[in-house]
Amino acid sequence: MKPVALGQSHTYRVETTHAHTADALGNKGMTVIATPILIGFLELAAHGCIEPQFEPGEGSVGTFVNVRHLAAAPAGAVVEATATVTEVAGRQVTFAVTAKWNDTLLMEGTHGRAVVNLARFFARLGMTPPPT
């Protein structure tokens, strides 16, 4: 892993659909963006933030999520999830994360990721790493 700078930031932007709603996940009638979907957007933003620092054969895995879901957004909303590096300890990276819909703060908190050697990671699971 190449050095990761404090303050480094990345935004993942997505136009949501019904597939992103709580209704689609089984909470019938709740046609708003589901909490686990927003968390997934935050994880994608964090991964994208550090991906340029990966050496060949590296990837990242989530290690913790600590967020508050503050507001709802409807299907069709354009959500921007942003991750900013706040701490680097070896291969462990911590991010401040937010998800917004226009000016509405949907979710905020912290997220951790570890940079891993994909061959070793999948070998421990008895799996072959996916092609890169």
Longest dimension (CA), the chain: 46
49: three-class secondary structure by DSSP: helix
Q: How many CB atoms lie under 10 A from the CB of residue 88?
A: 18
What are the residue numbers of the active site? 35, 43, 69
Give the per-residue pLDDT at 132. Answer: 66
| Residues 29 and 95 sit within 8 Å (Cβ to Cβ) | no
DSSP state of 123: H
Q: Which residues contact 36 (CB under 8 A, 6 or more apart)?
A: 25
Domain ranges for the chain: 9-124
Strands lying side by side in the sheet with 78-89: 9-15, 78-89, 92-101, 104-117, 58-69
| pLDDT tens, N- to C-terminus, the chain (132 residues) | 999 999 999 999 999 999 999 999 999 999 999 999 999 999 999 999 999 999 999 999 999 999 999 999 999 999 999 999 999 999 999 999 999 999 999 999 999 999 999 999 999 999 988 776
pLDDT at position 65, please? Answer: 98
User: What CATH number should be reported for the domain whose range is 9-124?
Assistant: 3.10.129.10
Task: Return d(Cα 12, Cα 55) in angstroms, integer.
Answer: 22
Helix (H, G, I), strand (E, B) or coil at 11: strand
- pLDDT at position 113: 98
